[in-house]
Amino acid sequence: MWPSFVINLAQNMTRLENSRRQMEALGIPWARLDAVNGWALSKEEIAEVYSVHLNRRYARHPLVRPEIGCALSHVEAWRRIAEGPEEGGFIFEDDFAAAPNLPRALKLLSTPQSRWDRVKLFSFNPAPRMVWKEPLCEGLSIGIPYRVPTCLTAYGLTKAGAARLLERATPFFRPIDEQQKFFWETGLRVALVLPPPVQVGDQEAETGTIGSVRRADAATRRSAGGRRPFHQLRYQLGYALRLHFHRLTRHGR
């Protein structure tokens, strides 16, 4: 089985214990990956990895510090896989909730791949539109979703896929979970396991959540006359058109 990495901020001990308990109960070998604390980054460190210019032009909203730290944490996980001895690996955020069939799914996915580069183990939509789908094992299927799900709660990467992500990891300008929707920018084939063997677990954390910081930042920007609804509409329409074009022209990608 490919190695599994759990991204965890040092202060979030409750989440770490929940992750440890689940992994050990299911017999999944794993390693903790120390997450990057975005609040501890200097302005110079942020400027090296985050493009404000591209964010203003192509993203829905400015990134808050926890989002920047989250992105850098996943980049480090990609590096571990790309430079590791195995042909792939699995990445978990520390708020996952594992189903009993997760070990079987991970074992089956830890094989030489020819049809995907990244595989999602979680989706908010339990029945998404699929480009293609085939059985993975009894009770589970795998395929390419028409629209790549957001949220990086749990996913797998081939070694080659991780290396490709690293090539263009920085500077980033979108939230890391949203970035994966634009699969045509990296050329990665993103698959999805259904029904997802991972759900979102307890969201409470000693350090708070990205969502709460993002909402507070959005409220501040609205009161200061921030980005208008037209910007959001243009973003959504542009994404939908590009998604449709790439699904039509590159079936199965």
pLDDT in tens, 33-74: 999 999 999 999 999 999 999 999 999 889 999 999 999 999
* Measured torsion, CA atoms of residues 174, 7, 186, 171, in degrees rounded to the nearest 10: 50
The amino acid that residue 108 corresponds to is L
Q: How many structural domains is the chain composed of?
A: 1
The answer to whether the CB of 158 falls within 8 A of the CB of 112 is no
Quote the domain boundaries for residue 183.
4-249
Cis peptide before 195 (omega within 30 of 0): yes
Backbone angles phi, psi at 34, to 5 degrees: -65, 115
Location of structure tokens 């542009």? 238
Q: Which positions ≥6 away from 101 have C-beta within 8 Å?
A: 139, 140, 197
What CATH number did the domain enclosing 167 receive? 3.90.550
pTM: 0.89
Q: What is the tens place of the pLDDT at every residue in 107-156?
A: 999 998 889 999 999 999 989 999 999 999 999 999 999 999 989 999 99
**How far is the C-alpha of 146 from the C-alpha of 131, rounded, in Å?**
5
In angstroms, what is the C-alpha Rg of the chain? 18
